[in-house]
Structure 1
Amino acid sequence: MAAAANTAANASLESVSVSVSVSAADDMAAKAVQKRFEGLVTVRSKAIKGKGAWYWAHLEPILVQSSDTGQPKAVKLRCSLCDAVFSASNPSRTASEHLKRGTCPNFASTPKPISSISPSSAPAAVTSAPPSPSPAQTRKRHASSSAAVPSSSSYQIPPLAVVDPSRFSAEMVYPSAAAVAPAQPQHLVLSGGKEDLGALAMLEDSVKKLKSPKASPGPALSRTQIDSAVGLLAQWLYESCGAVSFSCVEHPKFKAFLQQVGLPQISRRELAGSRLDARYEEARSESEAKIRDAMFFQLASEGWKSCGGGGGSGVAENVVNLTVNLPNGTSVFRKAVFPGGRANSKYAEEVLWETITGIFSIPQRCVGIVADRFKAKALRNMESQNHWMVNLSCQLQGFSNLIKDFNRELPLFRTVTEKCLKLANFINTNSQVRNNFHKFQLQELEHACLLRAPPICGGEDVKFDGVYAMLDDILTSSRALQFAVHDESYEVVCVDDPVAREVGDMVRDMGFWSELEAVHSLIKLVRVMVREIELERPLVGKCLPLWEELRGKVRGWCAKFNVAEGPVERIVERRFRKNYHPAWSAAFILDPLYLMRDNSGKYLPPFNYLTPEQEKDVDKLITRLVSREEAHIALMELMKWRSEGLDPLYAQAVQVKEQDPITGKMKVANPQSSRLVWETCLSDFKALGKVAVRLIFLHATSCGFKCNWSFSRWVSAHSHSRAAMDRAQKMIFIAAHSKLERRDFSNQEEKDADLFMNGEDDVVNEVFADASSV
């Protein structure tokens, strides 16, 4: 009896706890809804006073309350013209789709009299056909339709007659004198509709020009200004690298724009002909001058991953970019290669060697290669045949492949992926459950969409590119999923569907959500490091610290989610050994940036951070990179470097850091100091110095210029035309040369994606930001 009473009491306490937590969550959600409603009301009040967007005059925020609790559950927008109700997630988009596109049946107004139209707003007769009134113009006319007609027009002539369409019949009737000048203001109605307004404005504009024939159009551009403007326009088109089509310069609106600003028309043939050739020759001469000034260089090669079947989907992606990295920190584009299909290791080796010998007749000036694929064969073959070369695989690919290793070798990844695939496919395919899920999505996230699920390949393996997106969708919609499986309608589905019962139990299980969060967190951890590597483009000396940083973060992840460290660390170490190169250890030791201050005040190389095998790698690499006669001298100088290091004052100067204004992180103030110290202050190290200056400037990543998707598709479509491919080479060269000069390694498609992800109203965001700061 006592045990039964205790069990009942515990059950009662648990139910009370659950209800309290649910009630607290509902209160927080209601407060968030109320806060958003108040923000929208504030924005609308400002807009009505003329300090916000025009559409707030027609859109009114309303608060939807729950019929059960009476608390706010959602914010909607109501159109004051037709009483339609919309989601409040994106007011500007609602205005565009409902008002501007004519969906609202009542968003129309009669235009104001032509005599009140400013002559500056009338379209010029010399440009193009007059466009239809814009929504903004229609709105202004609606606001001023009740205003009195001015006593005289802007052109000092009487207002034109108001035309009544009922007058037009089979027999033409001419208006009386009284109709010509009505005493009361009337709406202007023309036989051709609103389209006549533009023609009528052009008529009055012609009258004005006839009355004032000496009117000056304004100061004209000089020939120098015109040539400079057209040249800048052409360069912008080239540097867009296919994102903007040459055909756009022959668009009527673009021609009208050129005429409005006083520029001559430019043909696409001129852009793709003489101007393109001249700009290409100019960029090529600048690049070759920079390469000639350098004593040695590194060749970076990116794009082999797509050509080798590592994710490419066709010819459009098969663009291999070859870039020259110089000791002074600059990069110069060399050329692009279009393999047109799957490229093997031998072909890659031939392309790389042909590029090296094409830059200089002396191949010894190329001290190394970094590429995103073919490490095992092409790079190692070339390194073994040319003892002075250091050929590296791209660190970006090494870290990215680590995610695939986790997915393939960690049982936790496979389990979570399979469960999430089952959940996503069931929700997406069962119409009754999907509709119910979308209802709760609208309540929680203010939008409804399917869960992204990657395709299954070969019956078992899953393409991991889309797994992170699927996990992210499920985590984001966790509350909606919980509500969906606890709904009464879901119980009805479970009666006849065992998959529904399995998915319901899965969603209710807190262990599933804990495992899902763990996998999502580990992928995010690696992806963030990959993104940082892509932005910072580290040098080879940074490789060992990067992997050590990864190990520390992985150990922290294991502790947080109670995962055994052993299997995870073995996966990381296996990938580390696969990507490791002895140059990592040698550059880490020789770069003054990583010198450590000991107890005596000396700044010494960090040999203590190397394993015994890595110390041997340093000796082997140094002796390989120098001649046989200098090998023993280089090893003696290495011992001296190990015991004496660098003067503390110069070591501190090399390691000075400053805050990056963009990322906010601390970075080295002068990255070239490491190399310059060896060439000046450490000139006594004759043999070792030759190795150091060649090693520490090497890049560890091959990422650089990226072609736009539109340009890649264009290349694919014209790959069999010699003239088209010649133009493609020139355009890529110009665009890459400009981007590398600006040190702009961003991608236009990514910029556009970031822009369109921020779909919220800017004014709303400002209001919420102010509220949160208070």
Structure 2
Amino acid sequence: MANSNSTPIDTSLAPLPSTEEVAVRAVNKRFEGLVTVRTKAVKGKGAWYWAHLEPILIRNPETNLPKTVKLKCTLCDAAFSASNPSRTASEHLKRGTCPNFSSVLKPISSVSPSPITTIVSPSSRNRRKRNLQHTGASASYQVHSLAMVDSSRFFGELGYSPAQISHTVGSVTNTGLNQQHLVLSGGKEDLDALAMLEDSVKKLKSPKASPGPTLSKDQVDSTVDLLADWFYESCGSVSLSSLEHPKFKAFLNQVGLPALSRREFSGARLDSKFDEVKIESDAKIRDAMFFQVSSDGWKSKNCSHGEESLIKFLVNLPNGTSVFQKAVFLAGSVPSKYAEEILWETVAGICGDVLHKCVGIVADKYKAKALRNLEIQNHWMVNLSCQLQGVISLIKDFNKELPLFKTVTDNCLKVAKFFNSFHKFRSQELEHAGFLRVPSSKCNNSKDFGPVIALLEDVMSCARVLHLLVLDDSYKIICGEDPVAREVAEMIQDAGFWNDLEAVISLVKLVGGMAEEIEAERPLVGQCLPLWEELRAKVKDWCAKFGIAEGPVENIVEKRFKKNYHPAWSAAFILDPQYLRRDTSGKYLPPFKCLTHEQEKDVDKLITRLVSREEAHVALMELMKWRSEGLEPLYAQAVQVKQRDPVTGKMKIANPQGSRLVWETCLKEFKSLGKVSVRLLFLHATSCGFKCNWSFMRWVCVQGHSRVGLDRVQKMIFIAAHAKLERRDFSCEEEKDTELFSMAGGEDDMLNDVFTDASSVRVS
């Protein structure tokens, strides 16, 4: 997929090469890539099977030009398609299709039977297993003469040849004159049984086994506690049944630990750990003067039992930390009124009789109804909708309201459907190019834009392949008969089509990139206005780059901005010393000039609402003083000091809590306005907390109808969430694993690079 900085394809830069020339280049490039892969593998830097597979060029007998690339088996000279070497190796070599594959193994001959204790010891058995896994080949084993049977009588019954049985088991010469085939009646699986028999013989010979490591009781208890913490904090990635897995039990025994019971881990130990964490969490909330409730997960998630959601409630504290409160399991969609009741019950459950301690709620849904109703009923609260959801919704707005999106989507659908139906050409010339992902009719709407984006990315990534397609002679013949084929060819050869496609993908990446930053940074409410201003500037640059009219695009952005806007954005922006600006007199003053007239009114209204009626006029007078005097320059500069983040490399505020602390210490003369400021400046603008593992979500779905089971799940979620928030880890383990596997490139990645290069011949 092209990135936002790439340029559209120019179809006028160079003369068109002939179709034959393009095909020859692609075949040669592919052959060279396979040879490179095989050379590295032979040197020990690739898969085992390259020692037996060799790339060859198949030439056209008439023109002597390369026509295609094949893989030749060096053992039997059979030729195969080069599209998937690993599959060829599995089917031809591992599954015994190659008649000569066993001959590469050195047979054991002229050896006398060995005692059973020296035949298949555990160490040699494990070593041979590792060799098998590394080479993919079977090995020949020496077995005691007691295990020898006359295998010839089985050949006719089972349909196996002596060579095949010899390939599996090996051969032994008893007398040095006549070679006899060996077979165990249970097949290769008998080797494990033979090893067990050998172990028994060893134990009978040496009944006193060497003792394992011994640990003191304190060491055992401490180790088991750490193991339990890891298990609970894995949040469902490890099942309870895994504790009784034979290999895990063997590991515990090997290190001197007792066997663990899943009942113990789901019973008293779980209760004890939960009580410990709950006491710690409650103490943190009790020590804070006020807090914000964060609610995430109202959007339904797909589950095997239908539409089900896990609503997570966190408590955001003024010092920048968050504490997990509870998780609520809901089945099906939730009415706004019911959501309002759940939110208020949560607030009341945390605050008790001191309801004023909760100064606000941030949630990822129900802004218009539940949040607003609670804010009207409780004048001291500031209830916000999640900014992450607001920015993501902007992509759906573009898809729904910007004509460019519909035009590009419709054109890409035509291209993809026709390309996917062109089987004969794809199988012969473009076998490395997969099908383009076409969204279903249910997904092709403004509410679910993900499948559409996948389609656009596929079309963009196959730009070169599509150009090769329309230049082929067989395609030109179809164009003479099929008007759709002609229309598709015209689009593919039109630079405007690729420019519009790149523009749409670039805009989606732009907005999606900001959403990722918001999820990672978790901005505060005072950062909302600058965030949207940055978004406007980026969208304006996008319009200029791709020649798109700014008016319609700006209208869509402004419409979404108004849907998400809250007066607290303007008030926090004005009261945050981070945004003070130095004027000509040297004072650091709040940036009222950046607000519209309506936003200035919002600041006054919000401040008067958040204080008592008696304090309202005092708070407004203090606001006027703040507007004219601002903050002492030295403290303003200290608050605004930035440093480079070692992880992201971006410049960030060095003292994130500085803005709030300045109001609590240096600006004590603003008694009424100070109360509002310290409560506003710590409020989070997003509700994204920690992410539950997918496996844990399935666990919740299964236990959702059991009171005891759900209670245990709740406790495990609480423990895992507490640990994640303690180390500020908001990610999901499955997502980390996916990223790790995608980074761990291997031979398939090398082949993909080769194939991509082969199809990247410039077609102008």
- Tell me the distance in 2 between the aligned counterparts of 1:215 and 1:718: 45
Q: Quick check: 1:440–1:480 contact (8 Å CA) kept in 2?
A: no
The answer as to 2:334 corresponding to 1:339 is no
Q: Which amino acid aligns with 2:222?
A: S
The answer as to 2:593 corresponding to 1:608 is yes
Deviations 1:321-357 (A, max 9, x none): 1111111111111111122111111111100100001
* Residue among 359, 363, 369 paired with 2:355: 363
- Tell me the distance in 1 between the aligned counterparts of 2:135 and 2:86: 19
Aligned to 2:625: 640
Q: Which amino acid aligns with 1:271?
A: F
Aligned to 1:659: 644
Aligned to 2:509: 524
Aligned to 1:166: 150
* Residue among 453, 458, 475 paired with 1:473: 458
- Tell me the distance in 1 between the aligned counterparts of 2:230 and 2:34: 44
Q: Quick check: 2:30–2:69 contact (8 Å CA) kept in 1?
A: yes
Q: How does 1:559-638 map to 2 (within 5 A)?
A: 559-638=544-623
Q: How does 1:108-127 map to 2 (within 5 A)?
A: 108=102, 109=105, 122-123=121-122
Aligned to 1:401: 393
Aligned to 1:174: none
Aligned to 1:515: 500
Deviations 1:295-327 (A, max 9, x none): 1111111122328xxx99974542111111111
* Residue among 436, 458, 469 paired with 2:425: 436
More displaced 10-residue stretch of structure 1: 683-692 or 21-30: 21-30
Secondary structure of residue in 2 paired with 1:304: coil
1:384, distance to aligned residue in structure 2 (A): 1.1
Q: Quick check: 1:317–1:712 contact (8 Å CA) kept in 2?
A: no
Unmatched 5+ stretches in structure 1: 1-13, 150-158, 171-178, 769-774
CA spacing shift, 1:29–1:325, aligned 2, 3 Å: farther
Q: Quick check: 2:117–2:202 contact (8 Å CA) kept in 1?
A: no
CA spacing shift, 1:614–1:491, aligned 2, 3 Å: same
Secondary structure of residue in 2 paired with 1:667: strand
Q: Which amino acid aligns with 1:454?
A: P
Q: How does 1:220-619 map to 2 (within 5 A)?
A: 220-306=214-300, 315-361=306-352, 362-428=354-420, 430=421, 433-437=422-426, 439-442=428-431, 447-457=432-442, 463-619=448-604
Q: TM-score, normalised by structure 2?
A: 0.83
- Tell me the distance in 1 between the aligned counterparts of 2:188 and 2:304: 50
CA spacing shift, 1:217–1:118, aligned 2, 3 Å: farther
Q: Quick check: 1:416–1:515 contact (8 Å CA) kept in 2?
A: yes
* Residue among 36, 40, 50 paired with 2:37: 40
Deviations 1:171-199 (A, max 9, x none): xxxxxxxx998679999945344434334
- Tell me the distance in 2 between the aligned counterparts of 1:106 and 1:69: 35
The answer as to 2:176 corresponding to 1:191 is no
Deviations 1:719-761 (A, max 9, x none): 3222222122122212211211121111233223323434631
Q: Quick check: 1:439–1:448 contact (8 Å CA) kept in 2?
A: no
Deviations 1:116-156 (A, max 9, x none): 9998994499xxxx99963624768979979xx9xxxxxxx
Secondary structure of residue in 1 paired with 2:314: strand
More displaced 10-residue stretch of structure 1: 724-733 or 532-541: 724-733
- Tell me the distance in 1 between the aligned counterparts of 2:15 and 2:737: 44
Q: Quick check: 1:160–1:180 contact (8 Å CA) kept in 2?
A: no
- Tell me the distance in 1 between the aligned counterparts of 2:210 and 2:265: 33
Aligned to 1:753: 738
- Tell me the distance in 2 between the aligned counterparts of 1:655 and 1:65: 70
CA spacing shift, 1:194–1:509, aligned 2, 3 Å: same
- Tell me the distance in 2 between the aligned counterparts of 1:32 and 1:107: 30
- Tell me the distance in 2 between the aligned counterparts of 1:312 and 1:53: 39
Q: Quick check: 2:444–2:451 contact (8 Å CA) kept in 1?
A: no
1:32, distance to aligned residue in structure 2 (A): 6.6
Q: Quick check: 2:42–2:51 contact (8 Å CA) kept in 1?
A: no
1:584, distance to aligned residue in structure 2 (A): 0.8
Q: Quick check: 2:580–2:590 contact (8 Å CA) kept in 1?
A: yes
Secondary structure of residue in 1 paired with 2:643: strand
Secondary structure of residue in 2 paired with 1:338: strand
1:225, distance to aligned residue in structure 2 (A): 3.3
CA spacing shift, 1:166–1:96, aligned 2, 3 Å: closer
- Tell me the distance in 2 between the aligned counterparts of 1:120 and 1:391: 74
Aligned to 1:155: none
1:415, distance to aligned residue in structure 2 (A): 1.1
Deviations 1:667-716 (A, max 9, x none): 22231122122212222222121111111111111111233333333333
CA spacing shift, 1:26–1:346, aligned 2, 3 Å: same
- Tell me the distance in 2 between the aligned counterparts of 1:207 and 1:640: 93
Q: Quick check: 1:40–1:61 contact (8 Å CA) kept in 2?
A: no
Q: Which amino acid aligns with 2:647?
A: I
1:464, distance to aligned residue in structure 2 (A): 1.6
- Tell me the distance in 2 between the aligned counterparts of 1:618 and 1:609: 13
Q: Quick check: 2:291–2:359 contact (8 Å CA) kept in 1?
A: yes
Q: Quick check: 1:708–1:749 contact (8 Å CA) kept in 2?
A: yes
1:600, distance to aligned residue in structure 2 (A): 3.8
Q: Quick check: 1:111–1:138 contact (8 Å CA) kept in 2?
A: no
- Tell me the distance in 2 between the aligned counterparts of 1:119 and 1:140: 24
Deviations 1:463-510 (A, max 9, x none): 322111110011011111222232222234445543333323322322
* Residue among 662, 667, 683 paired with 1:682: 667
Q: TM-score, normalised by structure 1?
A: 0.82
Q: Quick check: 1:119–1:205 contact (8 Å CA) kept in 2?
A: no
Deviations 1:342-377 (A, max 9, x none): 111111110010000100121110011111111111
Aligned to 1:156: none
1:286, distance to aligned residue in structure 2 (A): 1.7
Q: Which amino acid aligns with 2:277?
A: A
Aligned to 2:129: 134
- Tell me the distance in 1 between the aligned counterparts of 2:604 and 2:641: 29
CA spacing shift, 1:101–1:167, aligned 2, 3 Å: closer
Secondary structure of residue in 2 paired with 1:436: helix
More displaced 10-residue stretch of structure 1: 677-686 or 402-411: 677-686
Secondary structure of residue in 1 paired with 2:325: strand
Q: Quick check: 1:623–1:634 contact (8 Å CA) kept in 2?
A: yes
Secondary structure of residue in 2 paired with 1:392: strand
Secondary structure of residue in 2 paired with 1:17: coil
Aligned to 1:772: none
Q: Which amino acid aligns with 2:184?
A: S
- Tell me the distance in 1 between the aligned counterparts of 2:389 and 2:221: 45
Deviations 1:34-85 (A, max 9, x none): 87457525522531xxx66655544556678899998989887655456667
- Tell me the distance in 2 between the aligned counterparts of 1:97 and 1:637: 81
Please give the root-mean-square deviation of Cα atoms over the aligned residues, in Å: 4.2
Secondary structure of residue in 2 paired with 1:216: coil
CA spacing shift, 1:298–1:58, aligned 2, 3 Å: farther
More displaced 10-residue stretch of structure 1: 199-208 or 607-616: 199-208
